[in-house]
Amino acid sequence: MEAHNVFTSLQELTTLVSQQQKILSGLIDTYCRMSGMAGPLEQEQIDAIISKEPAEGNGSYVITHNQVRSCLDGLGMWMIKTVEELASDEEKLSCLLASIGNLFVVAANGIANIAIVRSGNKSQAAELPPVLPYELAASNMRDFVKTIQKHRTRLQRKFSDEEIDQLSQEFSIFLRAYREEPLFQDALLHSYNQKSNFSESRAATHGQFPLVQKFCGGLASAFPNTATVESDFSVINWEKDNTRQHHTDFSLEGILHCKQYNNLKDLSALIKE
What was the pLDDT predicted at 211? Answer: 81
CA distance 12 to 219: 26
The span from the CA of 237 to the CA of 142, in Å, is 36
Q: Are 45 and 24 in contact (CB under 8 A)?
A: no
pLDDT confidence bin for 135, thresholds 50/70/90: confident
Identity of the residue numbered 162 = E
Predicted pLDDT at 246? 42
pLDDT at 45: 92
- The answer to whether 122 and 151 are in contact (CB under 8 A) is no
The predicted structure's pLDDT at residue 227: 43
Indicate the SS3 state at residue 54: coil
pTM beyond cutoff 0.85 = no
- Bond preceding residue 224 cis, omega within 30 of 0: no
Confidence of residue 238 (pLDDT cuts 50, 70, 90): very low
Backbone angles phi, psi at 62, to 5 degrees: -145, 145
| Percent of the chain with pLDDT strictly greater than 70 | 64
Higher pLDDT, 12 or 61: 61
Length reported for the chain: 273
Residue 231 has pLDDT above 60, yes or no: no
* Rounded CA separation 87/247 (Å): 63
